[in-house]
Amino acid sequence: MRAQPFKWIARGEAFQNEGSPSSSGFPAILEHLIRQRGLPPGVDLEGYLRPRLKDLADPFLIPDMKPAVERVLLAVDRGEKVCIYGDYDVDGISSVALMRRILMAYGLVPRYFIPRRGPEGYGLSTAALARCMTEGPKPDLLITVDCGTVSIDEVAALRADEIDVLIVDHHEPEPVGRPDCCALVNPKCGTEFTYLCAAGVVFKLGHALLKTRSTDLDLKELMDLVAVATISDIVPMIGENRLMVRHGLKQLPKTLNPGLRALQEVTGMSGNAVSADVGFRMGPRLNAAGRMDAPEDALAMLTTDCRRTALELAQKLDVYNKERQNHEGLIRREAVEMLTRDFDPARDPVIVLGSRSWHHGVVGIVASRLMRQYHKPTFIISIDEDGIGKGSGRSIEGISLVEAIRACEEDLLGGGGHAMAAGLSIEEGKLDPFRKKFADYVANHSSAEQRQPKLMYDTEISFDQLSLEFLSSYDLLQPFGNGNPQPVFVSRQVELSRSPQHMKNNHLRFMLRQGYHEQDAVYFGGGEHPLPDPPWDIAFTVDRNTFRGRTTLQLIIQDVRAAELLLFGPSPSRDVAG
């Protein structure tokens, strides 16, 4: 059950369409939604809604790109031994596969390595590097992707062993300094492209290589990997992320990558791909391999040229995902039980829970779900037999977990990551002191208003405005994601046409009525929340639902509340198609 009700807040002024056509030539409702996302007047809507590959900016705007290109081409000219070292999540695995394809286009045959989450931990850990060096020949050049920015000691050890290190990353740098590497290609060390995921940075490196020395590499064919990584890593869907994901999603149904093709087959995807297909079908299965300490299976699927092998590996990832779901369900139930005993939503500004029985690979997912359920910055921690905990955290808007970790570092063994998602390691006996300091940090760096759960909606709309024509114009806003959220609409005075249909996992299906118009709706997890008596005000997103060859518009309920009294009656119908 949700700890507090959402406070509904409109993003801006209500949409008003007086019937005159938009000056841009696009539907007026579309222009209204775009402006609410902060795009200033005068910006080319055509370029925003239909971004072109030729609009990709100069990759050399990223710091250290020139020495990185020079070092890669030196390895090419010398025929050096190269190893690509990546992270175990979707972004890291995709980045390794992408970097491998780029280097192979220049004649190199790199080996690659992914650490195992449980025994070796994230990034350039000592344990993972030791295994890496025993699994193949000592490299002349180690290229890290999606890690390495803060690995000062580890890079120093590699340099002492006469191994050059090239870092391609997107994580926050530490104020204490940078590793002794031949190049640190990280947009966050500069001012441009700071929103890119690691695969996006690898793509920019590939672009820079092609601008310096041409080869038969076609980067457009690799944009599907960039799209999968960008969506799965939940980086802002702005700037070139939007461009690359838009084109990558178009590439995905016709991908040349046997692994991506097999994964789409296993997940039941067909036809056009949208962000939700990657976020809820492909991404979780790729991540599941890393969570179950078998990231090499996901990487093998993305790098194989054999369709049969790819399909077998995709099916294996599907099994890992089911195992992950089982672990997640168990941990979440136990965590909620702990909260019912010791947690007061009105008093406690954070959630910090740990257990020796929890699987280390899924604590991040549980942290994310509890954060959304209770709207509290959350850390969920798996503690090993030696009493060392490894935890994952998720935050609410306005609270940086990276800054919080720095404020609590005396109680931690280590930690880092992003503002909204981070990891830490901690001794079991330090859980209570850390919880208190973390709570004090959040209380002192946020207001009660900030800590109240909010539902931001874009505009009110009536059922008679919802149509496939409306959906077609709405689709131009894709791809959705962090920084370009799926628009949320509100409809008032909605009735039930029939009793809710209960589905698995506490999902509900409704047939809703407003006036003479009906709409099919799904409320994921709606069975976990008490529903008021109709009539309702509903907040929802819209989606295209195709069943047995027939396409309809479907509402995806975000929240339901008792209908508020309208003093002047319902709003008149408006023509949202422009």
- For the stretch 260-274, pLDDT in tens is 999 999 999 977 898
Domain range 343-451, its CATH number among 3.20.20.150, 3.10.310.30, 3.40.50.720, 3.30.565.10: 3.10.310.30
The candidate with the shortest Cα–Cα distance to 230, out of 193, 183, 195, 185, is 195
Residues in the chain: 578
Residue 188, SS3? helix
pLDDT value at position 206? 98
Listing DSSP states for 111-155 in one string gives EEE---HHHH-SSS-HHHHHHHHHSSPPPSEEEEES--TT-HHHH
Nearest-angstrom CA–CA distance, 451 and 28? 34
pLDDT under 70 in the chain at which residues?
Answer: 1-3, 16-25, 40-43, 566-578
pLDDT value at position 176? 83
pLDDT value at position 578? 31
Phi, psi of 49 (to 5 degrees): -80, -25
Name the segment(s) of the chain with CATH classification 2.40.50.140.
7-50+454-562
Q: 224 — alpha (psi -120 to 50), left (phi > 0) or beta?
A: alpha
Which amino acid belongs to residue 197?
A: C
- Helix ranges (H only) for 346-455 are 363-374, 401-407, 431-444, 448-451
Q: Which helix (H) or strand (E) holds 554?
A: strand 550-562
Angle of the 152-160 helix axis to the 126-134 helix axis, nearest 10 = 30
Q: Yes or no: say if 542 and 473 are a contact pair by the CB < 8 Å rule.
A: no
pLDDT value at position 72? 98
CATH topology assigned to domain 54-320: inorganic pyrophosphatase (n-terminal core) (3.90.1640)
CATH topology assigned to domain 7-50+454-562: OB fold (Dihydrolipoamide Acetyltransferase, E2P) (2.40.50)
pLDDT value at position 576? 34
Q: Yes or no: say if 404 and 379 are a contact pair by the CB < 8 Å rule.
A: no
Token pair for residue 115? 């650490």
Name the segment(s) of the chain with CATH classification 3.90.1640.30.
54-320
Q: Yes or no: say if 238 and 214 are a contact pair by the CB < 8 Å rule.
A: no
